[in-house]
Structure 1
Amino acid sequence: MRFAVNFCFFILTLSAFAQEEISKKDSTVVKIDSLYREDQFYLSLTYNRLLEAPEGFKQQRFSAGISGGFVRDMPINKRRNIAFATGVGFTYNNYFQNLGITGDKKNAIYTVLDPKDFSRNKFSQFLIDVPLEFRWRTSTPETYRFWRVYGGVKLSYLLYDTSVLKNATGKLKITNNDDFTKFQYGVYLATGFNTWNIYGYYGLNDLFKSANTATEKVNLNTLNFGIIFYIL
Structure 2
Amino acid sequence: MRKLGILLIGVLTLGSIARAQRPDLPGSLVVDWGLNTLLNAPTDVKLSGFNSKTVNVIYYYDLPIGDNGFTFTPGIGLGMERFTLEDGKTLRTSVNNSNVRSVAVADLATVYPQANTFGKSKVGLNYLDIPLEFRYYTSKNNMSRGFRVALGAKVGVLYSSFTKVKFEDNAADQRMIKDRQDLGFEKFRYGVQARVGFGGFSLFGYYELSNKFDIAPAGGADTQGLSFGISLTGF
Gaps of 5+ in 2: 1-23, 110-116
C-alpha distance in 2 between matches for 1:225 and 1:95: 14
Q: Which amino acid aligns with 2:121?
A: N
Counterparts in 2 of 1:210 and 1:120: CA distance versus 1, 3 Å: same
Matched, 1:227 2:221: no
Gaps of 5+ in 1: 1-35
Name which of 72, 91, 100 aligns with 2:90: 100
Counterparts in 2 of 1:186 and 1:59: CA distance versus 1, 3 Å: same
The secondary structure found in structure 2 opposite 1:119 is strand
Aligned counterpart, 1:74: 63
Instruction: Give 1:114 deviation, angstroms.
Output: 8.8
C-alpha distance in 1 between matches for 2:118 and 2:209: 30
Q: Which amino acid aligns with 2:63?
A: M
The secondary structure found in structure 2 opposite 1:131 is strand
5 Å-filtered alignment, 1:111-122, equals: 111=105, 113=107, 118-122=118-122
Q: Which amino acid aligns with 2:162?
A: T
Range 46-55 or range 81-90, more displaced: 46-55
Name which of 84, 93, 102 aligns with 2:72: 84
How many residues are matched? 194
Instruction: Give 1:71 deviation, angstroms.
Output: 1.2
C-alpha distance in 2 between matches for 1:228 and 1:125: 20
Name which of 200, 203, 207 aligns with 1:198: 203
Matched, 1:128 2:128: yes
Counterparts in 2 of 1:47 and 1:109: CA distance versus 1, 3 Å: same
Aligned counterpart, 2:7: none
Range 188-197 or range 53-62, more displaced: 53-62
Aligned counterpart, 1:62: 51
- Structure showing greater radius of gyration is 1
Identity of aligned residues (%): 25
5 Å-filtered alignment, 1:157-172, equals: 157-166=157-166
C-alpha distance in 1 between matches for 2:130 and 2:35: 21
Aligned counterpart, 1:151: 151
Counterparts in 2 of 1:77 and 1:222: CA distance versus 1, 3 Å: same
Counterparts in 2 of 1:178 and 1:112: CA distance versus 1, 3 Å: closer
Counterparts in 2 of 1:142 and 1:90: CA distance versus 1, 3 Å: closer
Taking only aligned residues, the RMSD between alpha carbons, in angstroms, comes to 3.0
CA deviation digits over 1:181-201, x for unaligned, max 9?
Answer: 110011111101111111111
Instruction: Give 1:230 deviation, angstroms.
Output: 2.1
Matched, 1:177 2:182: yes
Q: Which amino acid aligns with 1:101?
A: L
C-alpha distance in 2 between matches for 1:37 and 1:82: 20
Counterparts in 2 of 1:179 and 1:193: CA distance versus 1, 3 Å: same
Counterparts in 2 of 1:141 and 1:166: CA distance versus 1, 3 Å: closer
Instruction: Give 1:97 deviation, angstroms.
Output: 1.3
Q: Which structure exhibits the higher relative contact order, with contacts defined as CA atoms closer than 8 Å and separated by 6 or more residues?
A: 2
Aligned counterpart, 1:110: 104
C-alpha distance in 2 between matches for 1:171 and 1:219: 31
